[in-house]
Amino acid sequence: MNQESALTYSKVNHDIIRMLDKPTVKWWSLFIFDLAVLAFGLFCFLYQVYTGLGVAGYRHPVFWAVYITNFVFWVGIAHSGTLISAILYLFRARFRMSIYRISEAMTVFAVLTAGLFPIIHLGRPWSFYWLLPYPNQRELWVNFRSPLLWDVFAVGTYLTVSSIFFFVGMIPDIAAIRDRVKEIPRKIIYTILSLGWKGSTWEWGHYTRAYFYFAAFATPLVISVHSVVSWDFAMSNVPGWHSTIFPPYFVAGAIFSGLAMVITLVVPIRKIFHLEQFITIANFEGMAKMIILTSLIVTYAYVVEFFMAWYSGNPYEWGQFMYRAKGDYALFYWIMIFCNSVVPLLLWFKKVRTNIKALFIISLFINIGMWFERFNIIVISLSHDFEPGGWGLYRVSWVELGVTAGSFAWFFMFFLLFIKILPALSISEIKEILPAPTREAKAR
């Protein structure tokens, strides 16, 4: 706390804008490595387009696998960002101030990544635009009854709105940078980006209003997007997919994984840029508590799935869930349970949830667990549905792994650029929570 009191407005400016100094060798090497991985991912994708989807590990009847898993995973990641920035904003949760910019950036980049996979997994990616309702000479439109089209709109909207939200939130801070940097090229860039922000009262007036509306839109949007994603599965009739609990289950899962990812990202940044003053233990604890909550919800969903399968007396459902726990993919299933339901229980202990290292490790576990949750839902359900005659196993191929690695590289590329180009913490909002300088205070 006393550290925080040492903060002054100018120190805030200084410390945060300092992050944008010339990139170090470490940063460059990291960046280059990242690009290399990305290039490999791109190669894998092009190879797949050229030869055909067969180079991926799909096999009858498992027609969706790692690609869609990644899609759901990244969309999930994308959620906590908006949650922290929008929902917590509406709830005036103070612990969000220091981390919301990073998580918003994460949101935007995660959506950018997620958006790739529906195209990557197409059999004929070159005609992906047929999914858009555009006027054409064939007089053909799209099928608005298809959950995939709901995806197109939901994800599209989500990307647009979260980017706006992200950008608008940054305008004042960019102005601050503009007023600080001297060297010409950066000066010009930031000048343009800041749209001539002056911090005058009328600007602030409209700004706060607008910001409130964005938040108000983003909140239901976030819920809707992941509900829609969950409907990709819930709307079908595949045992293990066709379930009413999916939307809340998925939303909770999304927030769960998203928070974990935030921690995974924030911890190292905090360390590297010495932001202990801004990002405090208290902030982490706040997130840790939310993780406990969401973890419990997810665990509850796991239990309920089993219960419903058993209680409904639906042989297909029951067969499916017994298969998950005991069948060919049982390992993955238990990895999921361990990572998502068991590990987070540690956070009940204050010692653990106030220990940065522990948090970091736990967050990694959760990321893995949540990836496998999606994998299990998609692959296991498909390989063991109604018709025993059609059952078959799925084995992943190097192409899919390559593309997956590429997607992570893609995400981190944006992130690396972000922390070097844009203010990773919100300057103006941190000032809001600082005590305003008054003459009385000075006098005393």
Residue 185 binding other proteins, by CB under 8 A? no
- Span from 230-238, 269-277, 341-349, 359-367 in contact with other proteins (CB under 8 A): 230-238
How far is 23 from 18, CA to CA, in rounded Å?
11
Residue 176 binding other proteins, by CB under 8 A? yes
Residue 47 binding other proteins, by CB under 8 A? no
Least distance (Å) from other proteins to the CB of residue 365? 30
Is residue 100 within 8 Å of 85, Cβ to Cβ?
yes
Least distance (Å) from other proteins to the CB of residue 150? 5
How far is 225 from 164, CA to CA, in rounded Å?
17
- Span from 9-17, 27-35, 89-97, 103-111 in contact with other proteins (CB under 8 A): 9-17
Least distance (Å) from other proteins to the CB of residue 98? 15
Residue 428 binding other proteins, by CB under 8 A? yes
Exactly one of 95, 100, 109, 214 binds other proteins (CB under 8 A); that residue is 214
How far is 142 from 203, CA to CA, in rounded Å?
42
Residue 244 binding other proteins, by CB under 8 A? no
Residue 149 binding other proteins, by CB under 8 A? yes
Exactly one of 1, 6, 92, 135 binds other proteins (CB under 8 A); that residue is 135
Q: Which two tokens stand for residue 267?
A: 């911890």
Q: Which of residues 258-317 bind other proteins (CB under 8 A)?
A: 315-316
- Span from 129-137, 272-280, 304-312, 365-373 in contact with other proteins (CB under 8 A): 129-137
Least distance (Å) from other proteins to the CB of residue 195? 4
Q: Which of residues 390-419 bind other proteins (CB under 8 A)?
A: 390-393
Q: How far is CA 41 from CA 37, 45, 47, 242, 404, in A?
A: 6, 6, 10, 33, 7
How far is 198 from 201, CA to CA, in rounded Å?
9
> Reduced to 3 states, what is the DSSP secondary structure of residue 391?
coil
Exactly one of 28, 39, 209, 271 binds other proteins (CB under 8 A); that residue is 209
Least distance (Å) from other proteins to the CB of residue 389? 4
Measured from the CB atom, the residue of 178 and 324 that comes closer to other proteins is 178
Phi, psi of 59 (to 5 degrees): -150, 145
Residue 429 binding other proteins, by CB under 8 A? yes
Phi-psi label, residue 434: left if phi above 0, alpha if psi -120 to 50, beta otherwise? beta
Is residue 173 within 8 Å of 13, Cβ to Cβ?
no
Exactly one of 27, 40, 153, 360 binds other proteins (CB under 8 A); that residue is 153
Exactly one of 33, 199, 325, 348 binds other proteins (CB under 8 A); that residue is 199
Give the type of residue at 22. K
Residue 425 binding other proteins, by CB under 8 A? no
Burial category of 23 from C-beta neighbours within 10 Å (exposed 0-12, middle 13-18, buried 19 and up): middle
Measured from the CB atom, the residue of 299 and 426 that comes closer to other proteins is 426
Residue 201 binding other proteins, by CB under 8 A? yes
Q: Which of residues 333-372 bind other proteins (CB under 8 A)?
A: none
Least distance (Å) from other proteins to the CB of residue 313? 12
Q: Which of residues 65-124 bind other proteins (CB under 8 A)?
A: 118, 121-124
How far is 88 from 96, CA to CA, in rounded Å?
7
Exactly one of 130, 300, 332, 360 binds other proteins (CB under 8 A); that residue is 130
> Reduced to 3 states, what is the DSSP secondary structure of residue 96?
helix
Residue 438 binding other proteins, by CB under 8 A? yes
Instruction: Give the closest residue to 306 by CA, choosing from 252, 249, 251.
Output: 249
How far is 54 from 58, CA to CA, in rounded Å?
7
Measured from the CB atom, the residue of 373 and 429 that comes closer to other proteins is 429
Least distance (Å) from other proteins to the CB of residue 269? 23
Instruction: Give the closest residue to 76 by CA, choosing from 111, 103, 112.
Output: 111
Q: Which two tokens stand for residue 226?
A: 């992941």
Distance, C-alpha 67 to centroid of its chain? 16
Is residue 108 within 8 Å of 166, Cβ to Cβ?
yes
Burial category of 345 from C-beta neighbours within 10 Å (exposed 0-12, middle 13-18, buried 19 and up): middle
Q: Which of residues 49-68 bind other proteins (CB under 8 A)?
A: 51-54, 58-61, 63-64
Is residue 392 within 8 Å of 61, Cβ to Cβ?
yes
